[in-house]
Amino acid sequence: MSSIVAKFGAIAAAGALIATTAIPAYASLGSPTEVRQQTSAVQTLAVDATVALAAPARDAYAVSMPVPVAAVRPKAAPITVNRYTGVAPPAQSYSGAALIQYAAQFVGVVPYGSGNSPTTSFSCDGYTQYVFAGFGISLPRGADHQARLGVRVDQSAAVAGDLVYWPGQHVGIYDGAGGMYNSPTWGRYVEHVSSLWGSPLFIRLQV
């Protein structure tokens, strides 16, 4: 009898073990809905982790060094101080010596500029125009235009009062001794130079 009871007990224990093994996995986790939610959450975490770990795509780029820029020398600032307070009137009769004497009065007095009056400024051609006008000689503006009104002479034959002319660039008044009076460039006043540069032409006006 006891052996029969023992056999039934063993069978009951075996059945309980089988029943326990056969219980679905989700039964220990909750309802099927809860299992689906947990599974979805796990998948979402997996996707987020994948995105976080993935290297972000970047556009290719190249590093280029800046191109050196050559230094540009700034133009001299215009002189704003005009020292002109009036000069002696020119001689009544024209001569090279009288022209030079009159031209010399503006040295260090009138600044270079775009004008043709001692009360404002003198460009190179504005200066020659004004000085010759003091003797009743009318010259146009422009170095090239002024030069066309005269004839070219050799430097050895040039005299005071002739024009010293660099085609397309500059004009001054020859002093008869290897130099000239001129209004040179920005940042300077009318000046006298004792020597000439380059290969200027010498023009004698027909006066």
The active-site residue out of 82, 116, 145, 170 is: 170
User: With the CA atoms of 155, 116, 120 and 110 taken in that order, what torsion angle do they form, in degrees rounded to the nearest 10?
Assistant: 10
The active-site residue out of 82, 116, 124, 145 is: 124
116 catalytic residue (yes or no): no
- A 10 A CB-CB count for 207 gives 12
170 catalytic residue (yes or no): yes
145 catalytic residue (yes or no): no
**Which of 158, 155, 162 is CA-nearest to residue 99?**
162
Q: Return phi, psi of residue 64, to 5°.
A: -120, 140
| Torsion sign (Cα): 100, 102, 106, 108 | positive
154-191 residues labelled b (16+ CB within 10 A) or e (exposed): eeeebebbbbbbbeeebbbbbbeeebbbbbbeeeebbe
The active-site residue out of 82, 145, 182, 192 is: 182
The DSSP letter of residue 177 is S
Give the tokens for residue 90: 């020119």
C-alpha span between 75 and 79 (Å, rounded): 12
Active site residues: 124, 170, 182
